[in-house]
Amino acid sequence: MFERLETLPPDPILGVTAAYRADPDPRKIDLGVGVYRNESGSTPIPAAVREAERRLLESQATKTYVGPAGNLEFNQRIVEMALGTGLAAALRERTSTIQTVGGCGALRIGAELLRAAAPDAVIHVSDPTWANHEPLVGSCGLLLKRYPYYDAGSRGVDFDRLLQHLERVPQGDVVLLHACCHNPTGADLDAGQWAAVAELLERRGLIPFVDLAYQGFGDDLEADVAGLRALAGRVPTLLLAISCSKNFGLYRERAGALAIVASNAATARAIATHQARTARRMYSMPPDHGAAIAARVMEEASLRAAWLSELAGMVARMKALRALLAGRLAARRPDRDFSWLVRHRGMFSLLGMDSAQVARLRELEHVYVPPDGRINLAGVSEDNVDRVADAILRVTGTR
């Protein structure tokens, strides 16, 4: 049966981790896979999340199925956190939410629903975008195209070209947007740019599909979704994929949600049936554990306050690491501008390396990043920052 299958190349991101683990050099540094790391290099479970899990296990009386729509309390609270309680309430009758197998499941179910509703629609993704966006979304059979997003010269958003491209996109096409902490560039739209994008999408009849993977990881829970809320309050239809992996530290629990805002309540009720059927045909029921933990953290005031404090600490650490690396690079090359590292948000920025330089970084310096040169700042530390700065400058020929 399977003898005709050929061995596939490693995943561009997960393969970096495998290569790092196989490297016997004690100086090796992993700046690849997209997980938060603390000062000791581990990915911790937030204390509030651990306490919520303890309380959940003490009170939980059954492990029976939760149904295709998942944990309904989680669905309500995660949408309220994303949209704000006021806007979520205003849109409640027009919103259909399903718990999914992580943010990836939300993206895939959203793509399947788009294909069912509009099989000729095109999904436009940013150039560049997260390495798994195109496989996840494109595997449903819809055509994908890229829109300009990143200006490598300024290390910022190429906003004029972005708008020019979207002005030419046919009505009814879908635009995949990163809500915050753009992966892999770290360059986000500002408030004025979000407002301009919202106006254009509404005027042109385009459908936003927003990937919210890092709420609270850029600045805070509110600031990180200001653009999303501007969109949701304006356009008639919006898809929102939410992940709890980073902000709740629930990576392996695969807790996520897909919320779809429809033009009217009747359409939202129809969407709910298609969400449930799509999930039923793909994996039947979602896992409840992570969603139940997140729901409890969001519900109980003491847990929520503790969690927000921990989240703020993670954000402060990532911003400090950005400033630390930028300072060490600037000290070595004062003729160059590294302030873009500080301006970016979230865990990621692009180093501006080509594939040959990335290979040399791995082979000669034992510093591991994905093929696109994306660096995970959470992997930088006081102990390794000088090695990282020296390696980057040696490989790019600027040391």
| Catalytic residue positions, numbered | 130, 211, 213, 246
Alpha helices in the chain (DSSP H): 14-22, 47-59, 72-83, 85-90, 102-117, 133-138, 159-167, 191-204, 226-232, 265-282, 289-299, 301-332, 340-343, 355-363, 385-395
Q: What one-character-per-residue DSSP string does 294-341 give?
A: HHHHHHSHHHHHHHHHHHHHHHHHHHHHHHHHHHHHHHH-TTS--THH
Q: 323, 367 in Cβ contact below 8 A? A: no
Helix (H) or strand (E) holding 125: strand 122-127
Q: Which amino acid is at 365?
A: E
Distances (CA, A) of 2 to 5, 6, 9, 10, 121: 6, 9, 17, 19, 34
Of 134, 111, 99, residue with least CA distance to 13: 134
DSSP 93: G
Tokens of 68: 């295709």
Distances (CA, A) of 376 to 27, 43, 78, 162, 321: 17, 13, 26, 25, 10
Residue owning tokens 């980057």: 392
